[in-house]
Amino acid sequence: MSKGYDHRAIEAKWQQYWEQHATFRVTDDVSKPKFYCLDMFPYPSGAGLHVGHLEGYTATDIVSRYKRMKGFNVLHPMGWDAFGLPAEQYAVKTGVHPAKTTAENITTFKRQMKRVGLSYDWERELSTTDPGYYRWTQWIFLKLFERGLAYVAEVPVNWCPQLGTVLANEEIVDGKSEVGGFDVIRKPMRQWVLKITAYADRLLEDLKLVDWPTSTLEMQKNWIGRSIGAEVDFALVGRAGAIRVFTTRPDTLFGATYMVLAPEHPLVDGITSEAQKAAVQAYREGTARKSDLQRQELEKEKTGVFTGGYAVNPVNQERLPIWIADYVLMSYGTGAIMAVPAHDERDWAFARQYQLPIREVITGGNVQEAAFTDTDRGTVVNSAASDGSFSINGLIPSEAIPKVTEWLAKQGKGTRAVNYKLRDWLFARQRYWGEPFPIVWVDGEARPIPEQQLPLMLPETSNFKPSGTGESPLANLDQWLATVDPGSGKPARRETNTMPQWAGSCWYYLRFIDSKNSAQLVDQAKECYWMPVDLYIGGSEHAVLHLLYSRFWHKVLFDIGVVSTPEPFMKLVHQGIVLGEDNQKMSKSRGNVVNPDEMIDQFGADAVRLYEMFMGPLEAMKPWSTRGVEGVTRFLERVWRLIVDDQGHLSSAVVSAGASLDHQRLLHQTIKKVTEDIEALRFNTAISQMMIFTNEMTKTQQRPRSVIEPFVLLLAPFAPHVAEELWGLLGQPPSVSQQPWPTFDPALTVSERVTIPIQINGKLRAKLDVGLDVSREEVERLARVEAAEWLQGKEPRKVIYVDKKLLNFVV
């Protein structure tokens, strides 16, 4: 047997050609419209590229190649998010420097990407670990510091004893470290924090500007978690001061029957009565000992202790007992709540547990059975001051809320308030393999290193073990640590923390625009031309982390005039996860991991690319099928035989004669379908149309060039190597990648005959094959004949005719 074509030879040949001719190098040619097509750059892990990476990369590659053929100037770059924990952990284990591991892994990734035929402009390649790159990461940090957006705070952090480092909330999954699955406890520490909360509103509002998946938009909205309500002061009984609470339901203020402080709340000591002191103390200690995981495990069973103190409800002067309970979090709102058990599920459960009163103030439910929390129905009751000076009775909640808030403001007892779930971003890591902070410490104060002295190089060492005290391995390097304050000349000590991995990935899309600029982060004119990113494809695991942090930095850069767009990424798509053949997540332990190198060896890069796209919708999770790869391989071989004979020459079936109308229609329908499908990223259906075309043309021995050549152009973005080879065999000069994209004639995309289904009462009974110019009367006449058996001579009650689509008799 013979394979249709030798993918090894052809792919190697054309990859070499593209490299030698710099086919995909891009310049800042402002005469052309631009298209910035970006992949989420990978962390170069030791495992190499997997088939999941390839799905996203192939998609952007197809779009890039298509857009080039459409006449766009396409920026399609690739780089490496190369700082990070795995290389460092490997170094701790083996002593191999992370820089070495990283460089080797990058070599593997790059080799694999080239094998796939991805059309990157490799001259713009960058790595976040390159001092010429992280110089600007440090520069951005200085700008954040200057603007008060980077500060040091004593904050309870997630400390992982096994990793010897602090973790961000996002690096913790189910109370364990995302890397390694180790226990995580809370511990107060001095930390660098970025004030992302200052941008909470803009980060929320500007989501309206982008074309992103709804799930990702929702996740970001929830993460930011804006809620509007009121802050209300409850005066303490028997001493000065007040408890300030945040509530989204000021309409239920008359229903408050007790108050709760977070166990860590600073007022707890002051209000606790002598009699309750021991109980309160015990409870607080118990809470402090619990890790986050334990707090989660103990779920739903509400616990708490009465403090012995009381506060006064400002609307009705009622004395409310003050409790502490760990269901109130110090980290949200004011760390204190007014409890309205009738209209809040948690308060209801707590009140039941401790026999506290439940008072209905909104009708509509049975508050003895369950909390009634609806806000879109019900009427306010039992809500008037005893002296009659103020009442919201009879209102609906949406009217009562502003009325109460207004009244509180007038009394000086409260104010409208907005709260966010979003916390400031814990930005420091106690690790070696990251960007050093451009900061020195003098007399306990942080001083920035002048911009001109950047980059602050990561010092060499062979000891990558964390110090274990909470400081990074950099704390062991005495020579590097001791320095002088560039301002005053006083002795100074360097900051020993490094930045988290997110830092480098926050702004890399800007550097691709001008990757070698040593004077600026990015040239302004170039930035204006290329930004924003038009299409960004990557995994949904970054839906809130990378994609929120990037947007934050981008907005800061916007404010200081470095970038010209409010948002970095206009259209975002997440490729779905590729499962193993057994429909399970790919994993080494399951032994179902598909290695792209093996697939390419066996079937070729074009077949693998094509299969990745043919599997199903880009965003969907779907299983790998090596049989499926064989299927698309057969398709490619059919395409090959369409054009090439057994001797490897242009087939005699390819003729110069004009194409029949049917063949022209087939071609134009295919151009239309493939074009529209690429634009909408529906690659699977684009490929199926090319299969239809191929199946049809295989049947004929007269394959006109005027039909075959445009088809090869359509195939080129998907299977570029074989398309280049076929283009050459057709006698055309290279490169197929630089040909204009075929256009279609709308008149030729419709066929001249159409099949009209005939229905009786909506059931298909017959079909009519008619010309396009057929009249309704004619269709109806023919249909009556066709469907006579079903009509039984009776006159239909009604006849529905949809022009050239369908005819339905209602009898």
Partner RNA sequence: GCGAGAGUGGCGGAACUGGCAGACGCGCGAGACUUAGGAUCUCGUGGGCAACCGUGGGGGUUCAAGUCCCCCCUCUCGCACCA
Using CB under 7 A as the binding rule, the residues of this chain from 677 to 696 that contact RNA are 682, 684-685, 687-688, 691-692, 695
* Rounded CA separation 62/715 (Å): 10
> To 5 degrees, how large is the angle CA 750–CA 720–CA 710?
30
CB nearer to RNA: pick between 442 and 687: 687
Contact status: 337 vs RNA (CB under 7 A): yes
CB of 109 to RNA, least distance (A): 25
The alpha carbon torsion through 416, 422, 428, 431 (nearest 10 deg) reads 160
CB of 529 to RNA, least distance (A): 33
Site for RNA in 224-243 (CB under 7 A): 225, 227, 229
* Rounded CA separation 318/166 (Å): 45
Give the distance from CA 472 to its chain's centroid: 30
Question: Within a 13 Å sphere around the CA of 263, how many CA atoms are in the beta-carbon half?
Answer: 19
CB of 243 to RNA, least distance (A): 12
* Rounded CA separation 57/52 (Å): 9
* Rounded CA separation 79/120 (Å): 10
Beta bridge partners of 153: 191
Output the six-digit token pair for 493: 């000590």
* Rounded CA separation 338/257 (Å): 8
Question: Within a 13 Å sphere around the CA of 42, how many CA atoms are in the beta-carbon half?
Answer: 21
CB nearer to RNA: pick between 564 and 587: 587
Contact status: 559 vs RNA (CB under 7 A): no
* Rounded CA separation 488/485 (Å): 6
For residue 19, report the phi and psi dihedrals to the nearest 5 degrees.
-65, -50
CB nearer to RNA: pick between 82 and 404: 404
Helix (H, G, I), strand (E, B) or coil at 356: coil
Interface with RNA (CB under 7 A), residue from 638, 672, 732, 791? 638
- 64, 101 in Cβ contact below 8 A? no
Contact region for RNA (CB under 7 A) — 103-111, 156-164, 549-557, 609-617? 609-617
* Rounded CA separation 804/750 (Å): 12
CB of 113 to RNA, least distance (A): 24
* Rounded CA separation 391/387 (Å): 10
Contact status: 622 vs RNA (CB under 7 A): yes
Output the six-digit token pair for 355: 């026999």
* Rounded CA separation 811/807 (Å): 13
Interface with RNA (CB under 7 A), residue from 186, 346, 672, 784? 346
Contacts of 601 (CB under 8 A, 6+ apart): none
Contact status: 515 vs RNA (CB under 7 A): no
Query: Which residue in 420, 421, 426 sits closest to 155, CA to CA?
Result: 426
CB nearer to RNA: pick between 249 and 429: 249
- 41, 80 in Cβ contact below 8 A? yes
Give the distance from CA 235 to its chain's centroid: 45
Contact status: 580 vs RNA (CB under 7 A): no
Interface with RNA (CB under 7 A), residue from 169, 363, 453, 587? 169
CB of 348 to RNA, least distance (A): 11
CB nearer to RNA: pick between 302 and 721: 302
DSSP string, 224-244: H--EEEEEEEEEESSSS-EEE
Interface with RNA (CB under 7 A), residue from 123, 146, 218, 598? 218
Output the six-digit token pair for 9: 């030879």
CB nearer to RNA: pick between 176 and 295: 295
Site for RNA in 434-493 (CB under 7 A): none
**The 3-state secondary structure of 96-125, one letter per residue:** CCHHHHHHHHHHHHHHHHHHHCCCCCHHHC
CB of 680 to RNA, least distance (A): 9
Contact status: 750 vs RNA (CB under 7 A): no
Interface with RNA (CB under 7 A), residue from 276, 540, 550, 575? 540
> To 5 degrees, how large is the angle CA 730–CA 734–CA 737?
105
Contact status: 761 vs RNA (CB under 7 A): yes
- Residues in contact with RNA, shown as a per-residue x/- string from 766 to 785 under the rule CB under 7 A: -x------------------
Interface with RNA (CB under 7 A), residue from 15, 119, 137, 247? 247
Contact status: 788 vs RNA (CB under 7 A): no
- 70, 678 in Cβ contact below 8 A? no
Output the six-digit token pair for 402: 């502003």
Interface with RNA (CB under 7 A), residue from 113, 262, 395, 714? 262
Q: Where are the alpha helices (DSSP H) in 482-544?
A: 502-505, 508-511, 524-530
Sign of CA dihedral 287, 289, 290, 291: positive
CB nearer to RNA: pick between 317 and 584: 584
Interface with RNA (CB under 7 A), residue from 397, 414, 628, 742? 628
Interface with RNA (CB under 7 A), residue from 266, 755, 778, 781? 755
CB of 145 to RNA, least distance (A): 27
Site for RNA in 281-300 (CB under 7 A): 295-296, 298-300
CB of 77 to RNA, least distance (A): 28
Beta strands in 110-199 (DSSP E): 126-127, 150-160, 165-167, 172-173, 176-177, 185-194
Kindly give the interhelix angle for 661-679 and 51-69, rounded to the nearest 10 degrees.
120
**Residue with the two structure tokens 């602050």:** 456
CB of 670 to RNA, least distance (A): 12
CB of 374 to RNA, least distance (A): 11
CB nearer to RNA: pick between 682 and 784: 682
CB of 698 to RNA, least distance (A): 5
Contact status: 575 vs RNA (CB under 7 A): no
CB of 340 to RNA, least distance (A): 7
Interface with RNA (CB under 7 A), residue from 329, 370, 484, 785? 329
CB nearer to RNA: pick between 300 and 516: 300
Interface with RNA (CB under 7 A), residue from 316, 565, 698, 732? 698
- Residues in contact with RNA, shown as a per-residue x/- string from 706 to 745 under the rule CB under 7 A: ----------------------------------------
Contact status: 316 vs RNA (CB under 7 A): no
Question: Within a 13 Å sphere around the CA of 109, how many CA atoms are in the beta-carbon half?
Answer: 25
* Rounded CA separation 137/671 (Å): 45
Contact region for RNA (CB under 7 A) — 9-17, 47-55, 201-209, 613-621? 613-621
Contact status: 208 vs RNA (CB under 7 A): no
Could you tell me how many residues of this chain bind RNA (CB under 7 A)?
Answer: 86
CB nearer to RNA: pick between 512 and 549: 549
**The 3-state secondary structure of 703-725, one letter per residue:** EEHHHHHHHHHHHCCCCHHHHHH
CB nearer to RNA: pick between 353 and 738: 353
* Rounded CA separation 220/422 (Å): 10
CB of 807 to RNA, least distance (A): 8
Site for RNA in 88-127 (CB under 7 A): none
Interface with RNA (CB under 7 A), residue from 15, 73, 419, 675? 419
Contact region for RNA (CB under 7 A) — 354-362, 518-526, 599-607, 798-806? 798-806
CB nearer to RNA: pick between 300 and 588: 300
Contact status: 672 vs RNA (CB under 7 A): no
CB nearer to RNA: pick between 258 and 480: 258
Interface with RNA (CB under 7 A), residue from 635, 640, 711, 741? 635
Residue 551: Cβ within 10 Å count: 23
Contact region for RNA (CB under 7 A) — 393-401, 634-642, 725-733, 734-742? 634-642
Output the six-digit token pair for 49: 């590229």
